[in-house]
Amino acid sequence: MSNQDLNLLDAIQIAMDAEQKAAAFYADAAHKTVYPLGHRLFEQLAEFERHHYSKLAALETSLRDEGAFIGYEGKELSLPAPSEVEGASGIEEPEKRSAVGIITLAIDVEREAEKRYTTLAEQTTDPVGQSMFKQLAEEEHIHYRILSNLYWNVNNRGVWDWSE
């Protein structure tokens, strides 16, 4: 195994640690958020970060054991439109300041993850590896966009809505 491979494995381990921390952050945010839409969003983001962790763990194992990247087909975040959730429309967030603080931290988590995977994609010469890291970066970017929309709506309108 070359030094470049060891650096890649170190980077994957750092990404795995970040995914675990992100999953714990979102699980805690879900616990702290009483508003049903926020609770549901943060639970699903926690599950998504656990999914990323498991895929990175599989990649790490494959690279160590076989020296090969693995395919990653991606995953979609399946959130209902806020208008589709019974009792969710028109209710203002009672803890707006707290919610905005949590959302701000979540935006930072997603932005850093996107940067990390974009960098890994740029540094990886294997097409399968590049594809995986680009897909992970895209998924983190989607989370970032959802959270950015949510931030604006909670901060400016006081409502949980991630629609554009």
Q: What is the pLDDT of residues 26-66, one digit of tens each?
A: 999 999 887 788 888 999 999 999 999 999 999 999 999 99
The pLDDT value given to residue 79: 78
CATH of region 3-75+82-157: 1.20.1260.10
Looking at the chain, the whole-number percentage of residues with pLDDT higher than 70 is: 86
Q: Evaluate whether 147 touches 104 at the Cβ level (below 8 Å).
A: no
pLDDT of 6 reads: 46
- Weakest mean pLDDT among 5-14, 103-112, 134-143: 5-14
Q: What is the mean pLDDT of residues 62-74?
A: 94
Mean pLDDT over residues 129-138, rounded? 97
Q: Does residue 105 surpass a pLDDT of 80? A: yes
Per-residue confidence (pLDDT) for residue 2, from 0 to 100: 44
* pTM of this structure: 0.88
Specify the DSSP element, H or E, that contains 159.
none
Domain chopping of the chain, boundaries: 3-75+82-157
Helices 36-66 and 3-32, packing angle to 10 deg: 160
At residue 54, the pLDDT reads 98
Round the average pLDDT of the chain to a whole number and report it. Answer: 88
Characterise 158 by phi-psi region: left (phi > 0), alpha (psi -120 to 50), beta (else).
left
Angstrom distance (rounded) from CA 66 to CA 62? 5
Q: Is 119 helix (H, G, I), strand (E, B) or coil?
A: helix
Tell me how far apart the alpha carbons of residues 8 and 29 are, in angstroms, rounded to a whole number. 31
Question: Can you spell out the DSSP letters for 48-116?
Answer: HHHHHHHHHHHHHHHHHHHS--------------GGGSTT-TTPPPTTHHHHHHHHHHHHHHHHHHHHH
